[in-house]
């Protein structure tokens, strides 16, 4: 039967079908649902690791043990896991392993739009890129085959569109996963212990392997030439291939399913059979540069942008500007921004009603401290009217940067702020660094007992596993105390006066300190508190409550009103109202 599946669902299904039994990941949009789905299949073990490097090591370990494995990550997660990924290319594995990584062109939910195809070249590992969900399913199995045939981890690249869009997949509810002979881990230090003497022996093997993979790329059906009108030849992969097919229905195509290493002979043959050759690829000129280096005349980034996400209409507009096609009136009209869309109000993301982060940021703003922030829902503290964050880089950077800022002999009061999931991901090492290197940073851990931003995944501080089993809950306050932190307070960010006093005390202290701002995520809490309302007679319309940036607070002509449908009853606005106009 056919089933509508997202690319994330399909690759998880494909991994299950091909006998993958161990999966590890850390959540990250757009890849999160790969592991969430894989975890639902019978007979598999799947975990949320504290971060992507740990996830990578876990999957590598499983493959060493002779069990097929999968890792999934968003693009920047591969930065975190890169050290491990690179050694795995050197050691090889023992059973197949696929690394599904999802790029985010257009930065729908990321801090950058790096092109992870570069990792394949950099690490010297093969990379596949599906163009729809059926391919996502199939490429999981082919990835495992390649991994075992060439003794290498195989990257499967997604982008937001291939991860999140749905298309039909051949599906059987009773499908039985493939069986395979599990081999015991060979005790072979020359292969698995990467000291320089042994690693030197491995490097030529990797170079040889990538040459063999390039030969494989020439014959695998993953890459195919689809001859149409020979006046224009297009090389494309992934979702961009689908867009290009839509825009140029009659052109000739070289559709790449294996995006590294490239099938050079096939490219030469294709180039020779078309009059003009173009490459359509999002982000970096990854194919274009390699094809240009082969001495083949090709155009790519001269026509299409290096920045942002593509769409059929963007490809059409760029191609028309380059004289490759003519747009009809309807297409021209569709390319113009619609007045209706322009008239829509801008709705930036904001913290949810009842979010504890709001109380914390209100205290921080009122205290006027510099806030070295991090990545999570709480990054929204940067937005007006809270305006209470002054730096965010990547996960876990808050504490180290704040520590360095302190060592830079600043006179300004400053704090580091990061979430509980981020703390377990990349906060442990810098928080040790502050202590070890005699820093004075106050670190605030916004503990909402979940990974809020990516959709409420468990982490070591929630007491539950990905497969919904109860487990040890690592207590953040006890953990930092055991490291040697003496000044540690746990405070509810709903209690803003108390929080402000504790903050003042911590900032006045010379010693490094930790404040755990503990308040479960409002979307998980199911608090069932009655909504508040504003007595219009008492409201002086001063706007103090609006500075909390809480969406149920609506400005009327001469007073503020609370929308009872949205209000969570948290009482933060009641605490800041100077007129006592807000009541239960």
Ligand X SMILES: Cc1ncc(C[n+]2csc(CCOP(=O)(O)OP(=O)(O)O)c2C)c(N)n1
- Among the listed residues 141, 376, 430, 549, the single contact to ligand X using CB under 6 A: 376
Minimum distance, C-beta of residue 340 to ligand X, in the bound complex (Å): 33
Q: Element (H or E) spanning 513, and its range?
A: strand 513-518
Please list every residue from 385 through 404 that binds ligand X, using CB under 6 A. 395
Residue 327, SS3 per DSSP: coil
Q: How far is CA 237 from CA 96, 102, 132, 225, 228, in A?
A: 24, 14, 10, 12, 17
Selected range binding ligand X among 253-261, 371-379, 509-517, 523-531, rule: CB under 6 A: 371-379
Minimum distance, C-beta of residue 74 to ligand X, in the bound complex (Å): 5
Please list every residue from 450 through 479 that binds ligand X, using CB under 6 A. 450-454
User: Residue count at the site for ligand X (CB under 6 A)?
Assistant: 23
* 336: its two tokens: 């113009």
Q: Element (H or E) spanning 293, and its range?
A: helix 286-293
Q: Which is nearer to ligand X, 50 or 285 (CB)?
A: 50
Q: Measure the CA–CA gap between 320 and 327, rounded to whole angstroms.
A: 7
Minimum distance, C-beta of residue 393 to ligand X, in the bound complex (Å): 11
Q: Which residue is nearest to ligand X (CB)?
A: 419
Q: Measure the CA–CA gap between 58 and 62, rounded to whole angstroms.
A: 6
Selected range binding ligand X among 20-28, 292-300, 492-500, 558-566, rule: CB under 6 A: 20-28
- Among the listed residues 6, 94, 160, 421, the single contact to ligand X using CB under 6 A: 421
- Among the listed residues 30, 92, 400, 419, the single contact to ligand X using CB under 6 A: 419
Q: Which is nearer to ligand X, 285 or 419 (CB)?
A: 419
Q: Which is nearer to ligand X, 267 or 418 (CB)?
A: 418
Q: Measure the CA–CA gap between 83 and 277, rounded to whole angstroms.
A: 37
Q: Measure the CA–CA gap between 367 and 357, rounded to whole angstroms.
A: 15
Is the distance from CB of 233 to CB of 270 less than 8 angstroms? yes
> What burial class does residue 175 get, using C-beta atoms within 10 Å of its C-beta: 0-12 exposed, 13-18 middle, 19+ buried?
exposed
Q: Which is nearer to ligand X, 33 or 454 (CB)?
A: 454
- Among the listed residues 7, 23, 28, 406, the single contact to ligand X using CB under 6 A: 28
Please list every residue from 176 through 205 that binds ligand X, using CB under 6 A. none
Within 10 A of 453 (CB to CB), how many other CB atoms are there? 21
User: Does 377 contact ligand X by CB under 6 A?
Assistant: yes
Binding mask 281-320 for ligand X (x = CB under 6 A): ----------------------------------------
Q: Which is nearer to ligand X, 51 or 69 (CB)?
A: 51
Minimum distance, C-beta of residue 460 to ligand X, in the bound complex (Å): 11
Is the distance from CB of 564 to CB of 531 less than 8 angstroms? yes
Give DSSP secondary structure letters for 37-56.
HHTTSTT-EEEE-SSHHHHH
Minimum distance, C-beta of residue 519 to ligand X, in the bound complex (Å): 11
User: Does 139 contact ligand X by CB under 6 A?
Assistant: no
User: Does 422 contact ligand X by CB under 6 A?
Assistant: yes
- Among the listed residues 9, 103, 420, 489, the single contact to ligand X using CB under 6 A: 420
Q: Measure the CA–CA gap between 295 and 58, rounded to whole angstroms.
A: 42
User: Does 517 contact ligand X by CB under 6 A?
Assistant: no
Binding mask 75-104 for ligand X (x = CB under 6 A): -xx--x------------------------
Residue 375, SS3 per DSSP: coil
Minimum distance, C-beta of residue 81 to ligand X, in the bound complex (Å): 9
DSSP assignment letter at 427 = I
Selected range binding ligand X among 54-62, 158-166, 448-456, 484-492, rule: CB under 6 A: 448-456
Q: Which is nearer to ligand X, 48 or 304 (CB)?
A: 48
Question: Taking the mean position of all CA atoms in its chain, how far away is CA 202?
Answer: 32
| Cα four-point dihedral sign 36, 42, 44, 45 | positive
Q: Measure the CA–CA gap between 558 and 544, rounded to whole angstroms.
A: 14
| Cα four-point dihedral sign 116, 121, 126, 132 | positive
Q: Measure the CA–CA gap between 11 and 21, rounded to whole angstroms.
A: 14
* 237: its two tokens: 């992969």
φ, ψ dihedrals at 124, nearest 5°: 65, 55
φ, ψ dihedrals at 487, nearest 5°: -100, 95
Minimum distance, C-beta of residue 8 to ligand X, in the bound complex (Å): 14
Lookup result for tokens 């060439």: 150
Minimum distance, C-beta of residue 353 to ligand X, in the bound complex (Å): 15
Minimum distance, C-beta of residue 422 to ligand X, in the bound complex (Å): 3
Q: Which is nearer to ligand X, 315 or 516 (CB)?
A: 516
- Among the listed residues 448, 462, 513, 568, the single contact to ligand X using CB under 6 A: 448
Q: Which is nearer to ligand X, 51 or 133 (CB)?
A: 51
The site for ligand X (CB under 6 A) is made up of 26-28, 74, 76-77, 80, 375-378, 395, 419-422, 446, 448, 450-454
């Amino acid at each position: 039967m056919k089933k509508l599946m997202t690319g994330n669902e399909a690759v998880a299904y494909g991994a299950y079908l091909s006998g993958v039994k161990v999966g590890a990941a850390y959540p990250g949009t757009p890849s999160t649902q790969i592991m969430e789905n894989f975890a639902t299949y019978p007979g598999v073990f799947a975990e949320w690791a504290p971060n992507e490097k740990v996830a990578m090591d876990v999957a590598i370990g499983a493959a060493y043990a002779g069990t097929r494995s999968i890792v999934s990550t968003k693009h920047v997660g591969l930065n975190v896991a890169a050290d491990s990924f690179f050694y795995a290319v050197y050691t090889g594995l023992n059973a197949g392993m696929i690394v599904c990584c999802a790029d985010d062109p257009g930065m729908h939910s990321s801090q950058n739009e790096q092109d992870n195809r570069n990792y394949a070249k950099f690490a010297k590992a093969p990379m596949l890129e599906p163009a729809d969900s059926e391919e996502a399913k199939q490429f999981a199995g082919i990835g495992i085959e390649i991994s075992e045939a060439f003794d290498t981890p195989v990257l499967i690249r997604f982008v937001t569109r291939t991860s999140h869009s749905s298309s039909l997949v051949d599906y059987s509810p009773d499908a039985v996963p493939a069986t395979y002979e599990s081999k015991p881990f060979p005790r072979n230090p020359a292969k698995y212990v990467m000291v320089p003497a042994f690693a030197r022996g491995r490097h030529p093997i990797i170079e040889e392997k990538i040459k063999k993979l390039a030969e494989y790329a020439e014959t695998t059906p993953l890459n195919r030439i689809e001859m149409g009108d020979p006046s224009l030849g297009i090389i494309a992969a992934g979702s961009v291939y689908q867009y290009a097919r839509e825009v140029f229905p009659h052109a000739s195509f070289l559709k790449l399913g294996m995006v590294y290493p490239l099938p050079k002979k096939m490219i030469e043959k294709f180039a020779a059979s078309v009059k003009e050759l173009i490459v359509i690829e999002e982000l970096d000129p990854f194919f274009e540069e390699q094809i240009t280096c082969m001495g083949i005349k090709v155009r790519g980034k001269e026509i299409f942008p290096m920045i942002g996400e593509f769409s059929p209409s963007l490809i059409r507009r760029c191609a028309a500007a380059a004289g490759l096609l003519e747009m009809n009136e309807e297409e021209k009209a569709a390319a113009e921004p619609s007045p209706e869309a322009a008239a829509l109000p801008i709705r930036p993301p904001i913290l949810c009603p009842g979010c504890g982060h709001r109380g914390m940021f209100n205290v921080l703003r009122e205290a006027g401290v510099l806030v070295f922030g991090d990545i999570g829902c709480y990054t929204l503290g940067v937005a007006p009217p809270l305006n209470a964050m002054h730096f965010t880089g990547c996960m876990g950077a808050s504490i180290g940067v704040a520590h360095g800022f302190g060592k830079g002999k600043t006179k300004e009061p400053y704090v580091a702020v990061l979430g509980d999931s981020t703390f377990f991901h990349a906060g442990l090492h810098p928080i040790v660094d502050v202590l070890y290197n005699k820093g004075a940073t106050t670190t605030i851990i916004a503990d909402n007992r979940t990974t809020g931003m990516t959709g409420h995944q468990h982490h070591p501080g929630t007491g539950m596993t990905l497969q919904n089993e109860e487990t040890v809950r690592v207590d953040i306050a006890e953990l930092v105390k055991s490291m040697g932190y003496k000044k540690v307070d746990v405070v509810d960010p709903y209690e803003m006066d108390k929080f402000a006093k504790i903050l003042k005390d911590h900032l006045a202290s010379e010693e490094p300190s930790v404040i755990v701002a503990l308040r479960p995520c409002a979307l998980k809490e199911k608090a069932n508190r009655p909504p508040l309302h504003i007595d219009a007679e008492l409201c002086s319309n001063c706007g103090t409550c609006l500075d909390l940036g809480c969406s149920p607070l609506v400005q009327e002509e001469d007073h503020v009103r609370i929308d009872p449908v949205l209000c969570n009853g948290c009482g933060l606005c009641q605490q800041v109202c100077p007129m006592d106009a807000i009541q239960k």
